Structure 1
């Protein structure tokens, strides 16, 4: 009996040392909130990597880093990528088959998730570009700022995003060229029940808006369908350096949508209906195609103030990591998203922008079919 206890102790110590070695190796490569559930026949790795827009790239990168680890091939390995300090789902390392976390996995994560110890101070550089075309005297009017912001985790799923906005050029409006605060907000992300995602934000946003924003999305990530709703109340604000001007917060918006993954060339159709950002009521249809490193979409919209169409795209900005130490990282943004609409006068079916991707855009990259497609391409 005594010898059996000693053997179990050595097995436990061996697993613990292996887990610490894996954590140390991955931390150096930019992974954060590393939590490892290591058993004799399996390994479950919880992690976050804020440099990657697509979670498959973080899983593939982790696999490349760990492929030389001794005895790792004997384990049943599961990847559990995190987003804003919360779990999204579980992917098998071999097949990338998806399933939601079970009660044991959720409890293990809750006990080991430490928002104060498990993250670097992470600073992000990204551009803000607003353009208008077509005026005879000034055919190309634009406002271009560079934002330096950071996200501080305050509690599980709860974070504060803030930073500074550095004006580069402005021929669009009279906001001026003074240094000012970037959009800053409290943000809460959670998945209280499997496949039910919530995002709540309060603060200052893009489009010169401040207020409250709530998103809900039902997305079974092994399914071709998802449904969502976004709504809130906002008002207009403007910063001139340290000078602040605002109007009453009385603009309500609410938009419901349904998205279908067609199965054809990694495209999705998304129909949105409701009252949009500038109180116009109507509908918008998006056709979205996913590429390994980018996303491109076409859209058409009609509301009670007009009709429009255009395109949008999203991708990670080069070079990603600029500077990384044990407790500090400076990088470019994981997602730069920009949209062009041919109707530059009337704000038809404008979508609301907060300081992170909307749930539909984020969860699209976690879909099992998309992850498996990328895996097959990399294995060819």
Structure 2
């Protein structure tokens, strides 16, 4: 839905239970009636609907894997910054990894967008799970199957969907997704 450019930095030490990163993106909303065009004016879609034209988004991200027994095999991610609807706030993501490698998580975004502007639900929330294909495949693999569900999709609290993030790419440094099987 968006076209643009962005950059990301990440500080992550080997075998550390925390990391910190930041990303910044300049984006424009794509015109769905064209393969490559973007909207030029904020009311191009309709007179009563605004689109994002030459906007920015970005977040400071903190990743933490608690090491005490009560929260063993969990990860907390906190993203603070500006979302796609130009609202500012925080997204909290908490996930747990089981011995099989399956990860189950939930998230919520709380922003400065008023409940009246957001509409039903008043904030963004959802859950997801990730299954390592290694558990169901005859051949060893590092790939995962992902499923996410967000009950109400609104503009507020939405982060830019990127194919790759540095935290995922650098997983080998301090494994979360590719942790050794604990069975």
Q: TM-score, normalized by length of structure 2?
A: 0.69
CA separation of 1:289/1:366 partners in 2, compared to 1, >3 Å: closer, same or farther?
A: farther
1:262 alignment partner, SS class: coil
Matched, 1:282 2:75: no
2:155 alignment partner, SS class: coil
Which structure dedicates a bigger proportion of its chain to helix?
1
Q: How far did residue 294 of structure 1 move?
A: 3.2
Tell me the distance in 1 between the aligned counterparts of 2:131 and 2:80.
26
Tell me the distance in 2 between the aligned counterparts of 1:270 and 1:341.
18
Give the aligned partner of residue 339 of structure 1.
148
CA separation of 1:365/1:294 partners in 2, compared to 1, >3 Å: closer, same or farther?
A: farther
CA separation of 1:317/1:224 partners in 2, compared to 1, >3 Å: closer, same or farther?
A: closer
Computing the radius of gyration from Cα coordinates, the structure with the larger value is 1
Tell me the distance in 1 between the aligned counterparts of 2:176 and 2:112.
37
**How big is the alpha-carbon RMSD for the aligned residues of Structure 1 and Structure 2?**
3.3
Which structure dedicates a bigger proportion of its chain to strand?
1
Give the aligned partner of residue 133 of structure 1.
none
Give the aligned partner of residue 351 of structure 1.
159
Give the aligned partner of residue 110 of structure 2.
302
Matched, 1:216 2:21: no
Count of equivalent residues: 157
1:301 alignment partner, SS class: strand
Contact 1:251–1:278 (8 Å) recurs in 2: no
1:374 alignment partner, SS class: coil
CA separation of 1:278/1:335 partners in 2, compared to 1, >3 Å: closer, same or farther?
A: farther
Q: How far did residue 311 of structure 1 move?
A: 0.8
Q: How far did residue 296 of structure 1 move?
A: 1.8
Contact 2:15–2:173 (8 Å) recurs in 1: no
Q: Deviations over 1:21-54 (max 9, x none)?
A: xxxxxxxxxxxxxxxxxxxxxxxxxxxxxxxxxx
Mark the runs of 5 or more structure 2 residues left unpaired by the alignment.
41-52, 114-121
- 1:273 aligns with one of 80, 88, 93: 80
Q: TM-score, normalized by length of structure 1?
A: 0.36
Contact 1:301–1:349 (8 Å) recurs in 2: yes
Contact 1:271–1:284 (8 Å) recurs in 2: yes
1:367 alignment partner, SS class: coil
Tell me the distance in 1 between the aligned counterparts of 2:163 and 2:107.
22
CA separation of 1:239/1:368 partners in 2, compared to 1, >3 Å: closer, same or farther?
A: closer
Give the aligned partner of residue 129 of structure 2.
313
Tell me the distance in 1 between the aligned counterparts of 2:147 and 2:65.
22
CA separation of 1:369/1:320 partners in 2, compared to 1, >3 Å: closer, same or farther?
A: closer
Tell me the distance in 1 between the aligned counterparts of 2:111 and 2:77.
16
Contact 1:289–1:297 (8 Å) recurs in 2: yes
Q: How does 1:177-196 map to 2 (within 5 A)?
A: none
Q: How far did residue 299 of structure 1 move?
A: 1.4
CA separation of 1:336/1:239 partners in 2, compared to 1, >3 Å: closer, same or farther?
A: farther
Q: How far did residue 239 of structure 1 move?
A: 5.3
Give the aligned partner of residue 259 of structure 1.
63
Q: Which has the higher contact order (CA 8 A, sep 6+)?
A: 2
Contact 1:266–1:370 (8 Å) recurs in 2: no
